[in-house]
């Protein structure tokens, strides 16, 4: 009976296809042990390295497979280097790849080193430090821009609430001050209660103090980086914009769209941050 032994482990089945193709092309028997198909919640390991795809081959084929796999990998690397996009990089860009290898794949760093030799580049320690410093400064600049969009985005929830309350109070005392980014629903309540007269005006004012408070809740949780607060706030404010569209108040519609764009920018910056951390 043939004795199958472990040849190599892979993080997932897709990563193992290269080796499997080599084995099938050379008609070499193999076995695939995919831990994902035998995952047991009760006995699940917290070590992600244990949840891998293991390719096993016959012990007698080990040396042959090892040579085939090494040869195939070498040829793939050579072919990948032909007309590789890195050849279009400037000298400083090539130095950047070598100076920041953690941002590139192993093959890209390898090709960058080949280009480095071919061009006879002689970077000094100062140049390497300068490239790294520029990269850090660029990353810091992007981080500041992302944070700025995030802060501006969630801050508008608070402004919407405050300015809506001011609009309602101003309406109650019969002044003509009006902020076009305030909530349309607040104006609707004001008009209804104004027609009712009497104590209903006070009731309307109380309602209009409560309605904008929802946006204070959005502001509080959006500031705490809760994506749902951004999304819910965008939907509610978008629906509120319909009121101005019905009334054909195009200045208010335009400003609502502008504010929605700023809030959406804050949401996108938060979303990108979570996506980056997930990688």
Handedness of CA 134, 136, 141, 145 (dihedral sign): positive
Nearest to 259 by CA among 164, 165, 157: 157
Percent of the chain as helix, strand, coil, to the nearest 5:
75, 5, 20
Where exactly does CATH 3.30.70 map onto the chain?
1-82
The pLDDT value given to residue 48: 41
Planar angle of CA 21, 25, 30, nearest 5 degrees: 65
The model carries a pTM of 0.53
Cα separation values, 22 from 18, 34, 38, 60, 65, Å: 6, 19, 26, 17, 8
Average pLDDT of the segment spanning 250-271: 92
Q: Is the pLDDT of residue 10 over 90?
A: no
Cα–Cα distance for residue pair 124/127, rounded to 1 Å? 5
The pLDDT value given to residue 1: 58
Give the Cβ contact number of residue 18 at 10 Å. 13
- The 10s digit of each residue's pLDDT in 68-126 is 876 765 555 555 555 677 788 887 788 777 777 777 777 777 788 888 878 777 666 66
pLDDT-based confidence at residue 65 (cuts at 50, 70, 90):
confident
- The 10s digit of each residue's pLDDT in 167-213 is 888 877 776 677 788 888 888 887 777 776 666 667 777 888 888 99
pLDDT averaged over the chain?
79
Average pLDDT of the segment spanning 57-78: 74
Q: What is the largest CA-CA distance in the chain?
A: 97
Which tops the pLDDT comparison, 226 or 124? 226
The pLDDT value given to residue 96: 78
CATH architecture of residue range(s) 1-82: 2-Layer Sandwich (3.30)
Give the Cβ contact number of residue 245 at 10 Å. 13
Cα–Cα distance for residue pair 167/181, rounded to 1 Å? 10
Average pLDDT of the segment spanning 259-275: 87
């Amino acid at each position: 009976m043939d004795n199958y032994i472990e040849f190599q482990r892979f993080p997932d089945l897709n990563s193992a296809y290269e080796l499997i193709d080599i084995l099938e092309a050379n008609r070499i028997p193999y076995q695939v042990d995919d831990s994902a198909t035998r995952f047991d919640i009760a006995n699940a390991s917290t070590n992600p390295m244990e949840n891998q795809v293991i390719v096993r081959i016959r012990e007698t084929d080990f040396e042959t497979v090892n040579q085939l796999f090494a040869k195939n990998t070498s040829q793939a690397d050579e072919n990948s280097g032909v007309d590789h996009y890195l050849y279009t990089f400037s000298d400083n860009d090539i130095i950047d790849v070598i100076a920041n290898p953690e941002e590139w794949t192993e093959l890209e760093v390898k090709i960058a080193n080949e280009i480095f030799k071919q061009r006879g580049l002689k970077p000094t320690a100062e140049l390497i430090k300068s490239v790294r410093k520029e990269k850090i400064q660029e990353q810091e600049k992007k981080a500041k821009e992302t944070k700025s969009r995030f802060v501006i985005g969630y801050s508008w929830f608070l402004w919407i609430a405050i300015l809506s309350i001011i609009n309602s109070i101003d309406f109650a005392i019969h002044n003509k001050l009006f902020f076009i980014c305030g909530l349309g629903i607040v104006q609707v309540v004001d008009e209804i209660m104004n027609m009712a007269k009497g104590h209903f005006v006070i009731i309307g004012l109380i309602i209009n103090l409560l309605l904008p408070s929802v946006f204070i809740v959005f502001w509080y949780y959006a500031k705490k980086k809760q994506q749902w607060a951004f999304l819910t706030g965008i939907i509610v404010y978008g629906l509120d914009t319909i009121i101005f569209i019905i009334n054909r108040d195009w200045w208010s519609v335009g400003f609502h769209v502008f504010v929605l764009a700023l809030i959406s920018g804050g949401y996108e910056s938060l979303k990108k941050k979570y996506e980056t951390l997930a990688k």
